[in-house]
Amino acid sequence: MLKLSYQVVRRLSVSVHRCHSLETKTHTWPRKIFSGVQPTGCLHIGNYLGAVKRWVDLQNAGEDVTYCIVDLHSITLPQEPEILRHNCLQMAATLLACGIDPMKATLFVQSAVPQHAELSWILGCMTTMARLTHLPQYKEKSAKLKEIPLGLYIYPVLQAADIMLYKATHVPVGEDQVQHLQLAQSLARAFNNRFGTTFPFCEAKVSDDTSSRLKSLRDPAKKMSKSDPDPKSCIMLTDEPKVIQEKIKKSVTDFTSEVTFDPEKRPGVANLITIHSLTSGKTPAEIFVEAKGLNTGQYKQQVTEALVEHLNPIRIQIGRYMDDPNYLTAIIENGCEKARSTAERTITEVKEKVGMNAFSVIRQQAIRRKELAK
């Protein structure tokens, strides 16, 4: 009799899970956008033009947006506490200076919302070691280390928790992060199939323009990166006009003096035209017409002027915010409060479905019995 009951329950469970899978496909989720940025110092123009400027555009288009300073991710490699604290403040100041509006977007610091770590543990119990070792950033970073921290290994699970905690339907990512988003998609699907429809299928919003692929000023064969040992390889948002001028002047082009847009044969000049286009709002074709008769040395001055005009207000505003840490703290605390409210609802639902609410159920039953007795 006991065996028969178990089989009946098992068949019912399978049937329910099939219904949940069908519901996931047909369920309509409100459109929500989530993205995060590590507090690893000031942003360079590649970060700004390829990511943050897009965030501002999404916010101003009226989207439901949540943006997170992911300090938990940053400690996967050693960090000095004072530097990490400064970097979190500077990142908040930078995002606000770039146009993120706390009245239109939820802006917060990841470690202030403990539900990120809670959901990460639950999801970590649903993935495999083999899956995590195949992810590209783990391969890239672990290759340079003798001893690999556990955090570096499992941080894509935390990344999935970041997304799923706010039930995001769309995530702006670079091409190098698409596989990590696929892990989040896989975990959402696995959770829904096992416990019932809980999370939406999140789609990647990969930029199809050149803003996310700016090249190093010193080596146009490489992507622009602030980890590059040559400080002249990228332009930071906090660079003074004279510093920008020097970096553009020293940027690598070629031996042809004419200004032409040919990313394959003339990547250095094409990179400058791309930067000029993105900061001035002009198309490469318009720039080509304006630069007719100029050699590359003269054209670099035009690029410098466009960059300084676009970035100077941002640099000045970052300084103003950094001079008022109390204001920054108030903005972030408000954002953390909004994020915690959403995260608490999600984690309560997750714990209930996973079976971690035994004592709360007993307490609710006891309350109900008292009410009936009255």
344-373 pLDDT tens trace: 999 999 999 999 977 777 777 778 888 888
179 vs 232, higher pLDDT: 232
The CATH class given to the 29-212+324-363 domain equals: alpha beta
Lowest mean pLDDT among 57-71, 124-138, 259-273: 124-138
Predicted TM-score (pTM) of this structure: 0.86
* Confidence band, pLDDT 50/70/90 cuts, at residue 74: very high
pLDDT digits (tens, 9 = 90+) for 90-114: 999 999 999 999 999 999 999 999 9
Instruction: Go through the chain and tell me how many residues it has.
Output: 374
Average pLDDT of the residues in 175-184: 82
Pairing between strand 65-69 and 33-37?
Answer: parallel
Tell which CATH classification among 3.10.520.10, 1.10.3720.10, 2.30.40.10, 1.10.240.10 matches the domain 215-322.
Answer: 1.10.240.10
Angle at 109 between CA 347 and CA 192, to 5 degrees: 25
Asked if pLDDT for residue 2 goes beyond 70, the answer is: no
Residue found under tokens 């935390």: 158
Task: Respond yes or no: is residue 226 known to be catalytic.
Answer: yes
Asked if pLDDT for residue 277 goes beyond 50, the answer is: yes
pLDDT at 143: 74
Average pLDDT of the residues in 4-27: 43
29 vs 28, higher pLDDT: 29
- Give Cα separations from 162 to 158, 215, 223, 321, 347 (angstroms): 6, 29, 26, 27, 12
Q: Which of these is catalytic: 226, 232, 249, 338? A: 226
pLDDT at 209: 62
Chain region(s) in the chain for CATH 3.40.50.620: 29-212+324-363
Lowest mean pLDDT among 77-81, 115-119, 334-338: 77-81
20 vs 64, higher pLDDT: 64
Calculate the CA 358 to chain-centre distance: 35
Asked if pLDDT for residue 115 goes beyond 70, the answer is: yes
Average pLDDT of the residues in 188-196: 96
Asked if pLDDT for residue 212 goes beyond 70, the answer is: no
Q: Which of these is catalytic: 104, 205, 223, 351? A: 223
Angle at 148 between CA 142 and CA 153, to 5 degrees: 75
pLDDT at 149: 82
pLDDT at 148: 80
Sequence-distant (6+) residues with CB within 8 A of 170 are 31, 32, 33, 202, 203, 204, 205
User: In terms of DSSP H, where are the helices of the chain?
Assistant: 2-26, 45-47, 53-60, 71-74, 81-98, 115-124, 129-133, 136-142, 150-165, 178-195, 241-249, 267-280, 284-290, 296-322, 325-354, 358-373
Give dist(CA 358, CA 137) in Å, integer.
Answer: 39
pLDDT at 322: 97
- Give Cα separations from 39 to 19, 199, 217, 260 (angstroms): 42, 28, 23, 37
Pairing between strand 105-109 and 170-173?
Answer: unpaired
Lowest mean pLDDT among 22-26, 282-286, 324-328: 22-26
Lowest mean pLDDT among 79-88, 148-157, 171-180, 289-298: 171-180
* Confidence band, pLDDT 50/70/90 cuts, at residue 205: confident
Residue found under tokens 């539900």: 115
Give dist(CA 44, CA 214) in Å, integer.
Answer: 10
Give dist(CA 59, CA 113) in Å, integer.
Answer: 22
Asked if pLDDT for residue 1 goes beyond 50, the answer is: no
Task: Respond yes or no: is residue 141 known to be catalytic.
Answer: yes
Looking at the DSSP bridge assignments, the partners of residue 295 are 258
Mean pLDDT of the chain: 88
pLDDT digits (tens, 9 = 90+) for 152-176: 889 899 999 999 999 999 999 877 7
DSSP conformational letter for 236: B
Task: Respond yes or no: is residue 282 known to be catalytic.
Answer: no
Here the tokens at position 326 are 């109390």
Chain region(s) in the chain for CATH 1.10.240.10: 215-322
Q: Which of 46, 39, 48 is nearest to 92 (CA)?
A: 39
Asked if pLDDT for residue 9 goes beyond 60, the answer is: no
Asked if pLDDT for residue 71 goes beyond 60, the answer is: yes
Q: Which of these is catalytic: 141, 205, 232, 353? A: 141
Average pLDDT of the residues in 219-239: 92
Give dist(CA 339, CA 34) in Å, integer.
Answer: 11
Asked if pLDDT for residue 6 goes beyond 80, the answer is: no
Asked if pLDDT for residue 266 goes beyond 90, the answer is: yes
Calculate the CA 147 to chain-centre distance: 27
Sequence-distant (6+) residues with CB within 8 A of 31 are 63, 64, 169, 170
pLDDT over 70 for what percent of the chain? Answer: 91
Give dist(CA 60, CA 237) in Å, integer.
Answer: 21
